[in-house]
Chain A
């Protein structure tokens, strides 16, 4: 425990989680508007997940599980079902005895959750309804979200309101936005980067934001039996824990050579979330002389991969590459 408290980053996170939970507690009395309380709970949950991941990296399995459970409860309380389920999934994956039953109970409650349970008469209910739609359809533009609201909740809602709710969800790290402002469409995607685990979402489309840490293409051998596309591979980190691998079509790489040659370049990648093993099925196999541990996360899993179709400059939001097959997912 002293080792944990001695870590400055951990100390700051614990302080932030505690203060947000206390603030949320103080807001409990306000039953008419849950927005402020939920905002605090979402922040506490996001910090708890991040802290749990750090604790896991340093081998503190039980402490980590405690924070995943805390995040799961808080997320469940605010109605962030996907985030909460990911925390429960992670607890089952970690397998610490005292948390397993709680995780199973949590998952049972959430899997029986129906969209009718969302109270769309309140602002907070509408925010949760948008969250529900974005995760159900794995992304939507403001215009599409308006249609989904009408179809799924029989609710007519303005695009301005949708933008405002999307911003709220973005602040709470539940979705990620690309596009806007000034009349341009907002593209709203589920934020998978901050999930406790992404296992439920492989093969689905999302947007990830990070900075380029290194190019790792040379660490992979080509298996011609499976090769169908020339790819370049990078490690991206910064906002993403654990790090991820970003696969880029070679044309995207060639057209932005100076950017990719600069470690730390901020990038947003829209594409399909894949397992590490999927790289192999695309013809990229880790060289035997490369330490597989470099790509391993705390469990037996290896780093997740974003197979990017659209790349955006992380600072300006400008599209710097769009694959010919970008519309497929």
Chain B
């Protein structure tokens, strides 16, 4: 049997499909025995990792080292079936097989081949990992998603105060929402600003995997990460200047 990633369903592709609306280009990397889908913008980087379900398959190193860049419309066309959550959740084992010039994705229903549009090996934007800063666990991410959605401003102010995450709009008077964090590893107050659509997509992705870790860095960057049995997601948001975001064309595209 080919060296490939075998996972119980297509949920990771449902998540990859969520990147399509926010990124023109979706990068992809196959490194060692994992496949990554990556989106990068000026204030947001997202890295979705897919790996073999260790409960079902042994952990083998395939020594992959491939890099691709896909136009989001091409990705959309190829993984369209998985963009329906019911389909992606179906108990239909999915295989992901990377090779030099393409990555094949198939189950009993879908057979897709994703080809890079970059002539040579695609360069991949960096998604630096934040390991320090203040960390808090958030269990009710669905609430957080709803509350971010309800904010009317483009910019969202996030404040972590002890066991609470306080979110509010910046420009207009809007309600202040409070989320109880399951665990905050350091007492203190941290705050930052980010663009609402960027925070929303990050929280939506993380919420699909259950509990998430939110890291606040004193410099203003935040990282939201969440891990499941065969996939993980990590979103890095940098703080936004009010002047920066007030200009037309910053977001959405």
Chain A interface (Cβ < 8 Å from any Cβ of B)? 215, 217-218, 222-230, 232, 249-251, 253-255, 257-258, 260-262, 283, 323-325, 328
List residues of chain A with CB within 8 A of the CB of B218: 225
Q: 11 interchain pairs (CB within 8 A)?
A: A215-B123, A217-B125, A218-B126, A222-B128, A224-B219, A228-B219, A229-B43, A249-B42, A253-B123, A254-B125, A261-B119
Q: Which of B89-120 contact A (CB under 8 A)?
A: 117-120
Q: Check B247 against A224 for contact (C-beta < 8 Å).
A: no
Cα separation A297 to B25 with both chains bound (whole Å): 36
Q: Which of B31-76 contact A (CB under 8 A)?
A: 40-45, 69
4 closest residue pairs by CB, A with B:
A222-B128, A225-B219, A324-B250, A224-B217
Cα separation A262 to B41 with both chains bound (whole Å): 21
Known: A215-B123, A224-B133, A250-B40. A283 touches B219 (CB 8 A): yes
Give the interface segment out of B142-150, B162-170, B237-245: B237-245
Cα separation A182 to B33 with both chains bound (whole Å): 56
Q: Check A261 against B43 for contact (C-beta < 8 Å).
A: no
Cα separation A182 to B244 with both chains bound (whole Å): 34
Within the complex, which residue of B122, B125, B130 is in contact with A232, where a contact is CB–CB below 8 Å?
A: B125
1/0 per residue B206-249: CB within 8 Å of A? 00000000000111110000000000000000110101100111
- In the complex, what's the smallest C-beta–C-beta distance from B223 to chain A, in angstroms? 9
- In the complex, what's the smallest C-beta–C-beta distance from A311 to chain B, in angstroms? 14
List residues of chain A with CB within 8 A of the CB of B41: 230, 250-251, 254
Q: How many A-B residue pairs have CB under 8 A?
A: 87
Q: Check A257 against B123 for contact (C-beta < 8 Å).
A: yes
Q: Check A229 against B42 for contact (C-beta < 8 Å).
A: yes
Cα separation A232 to B239 with both chains bound (whole Å): 18
The chain B residue sitting closest to A226, CB to CB, is: B219
- In the complex, what's the smallest C-beta–C-beta distance from B246 to chain A, in angstroms? 9
- In the complex, what's the smallest C-beta–C-beta distance from A305 to chain B, in angstroms? 18
Cα separation A257 to B40 with both chains bound (whole Å): 12
List residues of chain B with CB within 8 A of the CB of A226: 219
Cα separation A223 to B219 with both chains bound (whole Å): 9
List residues of chain B with CB within 8 A of the CB of A323: 42
Q: Check A324 against B247 for contact (C-beta < 8 Å).
A: yes
Cα separation A321 to B128 with both chains bound (whole Å): 24
- In the complex, what's the smallest C-beta–C-beta distance from A44 to chain B, in angstroms? 42
The chain B residue sitting closest to A263, CB to CB, is: B120
Known: A225-B217, A325-B243. A230 touches B42 (CB 8 A): yes
User: Does chain A have a CB within 8 A of B2?
Assistant: no
User: Does chain A have a CB within 8 A of B153?
Assistant: no
The chain B residue sitting closest to A323, CB to CB, is: B42
Please indicate which of the listed interface residues A254, A262, A325 has the most CB atoms of chain B within 10 Å of its own CB.
A254
Cα separation A249 to B249 with both chains bound (whole Å): 14
The chain B residue sitting closest to A223, CB to CB, is: B219
User: Does chain A have a CB within 8 A of B24?
Assistant: yes
User: Does chain A have a CB within 8 A of B173?
Assistant: no
The chain B residue sitting closest to A322, CB to CB, is: B249
Cα separation A323 to B241 with both chains bound (whole Å): 14
- In the complex, what's the smallest C-beta–C-beta distance from A316 to chain B, in angstroms? 19
Cα separation A229 to B69 with both chains bound (whole Å): 22
Q: Check B120 against A261 for contact (C-beta < 8 Å).
A: yes
Q: Check B217 against A230 for contact (C-beta < 8 Å).
A: no
Within the complex, which residue of A215, A217, A228, A324 is in contact with B238, where a contact is CB–CB below 8 Å?
A: A228
Cα separation A323 to B249 with both chains bound (whole Å): 9
Please indicate which of the listed interface residues B69, B123, B133 has the most CB atoms of chain A within 10 Å of its own CB.
B123
Known: A230-B238, A232-B125. A258 touches B119 (CB 8 A): yes
Q: Check B126 against A217 for contact (C-beta < 8 Å).
A: yes
Q: Check A230 against B43 for contact (C-beta < 8 Å).
A: yes
Cα separation A283 to B220 with both chains bound (whole Å): 12
Q: Given known contacts A224-B132, A227-B221, what 4 new A-B pairs fall within 8 Å (CB)?
A: A224-B219, A228-B239, A251-B41, A258-B118
Cα separation A131 to B250 with both chains bound (whole Å): 35
List residues of chain B with CB within 8 A of the CB of A251: 40-42
List residues of chain B with CB within 8 A of the CB of A262: 119
Q: Check A260 against B42 for contact (C-beta < 8 Å).
A: no
Q: Check B244 against A230 for contact (C-beta < 8 Å).
A: no
Please indicate which of the listed interface residues A229, A232, A260 has the most CB atoms of chain B within 10 Å of its own CB.
A229
Q: Check A257 against B221 for contact (C-beta < 8 Å).
A: no
List residues of chain B with CB within 8 A of the CB of A218: 126
The chain B residue sitting closest to A221, CB to CB, is: B128
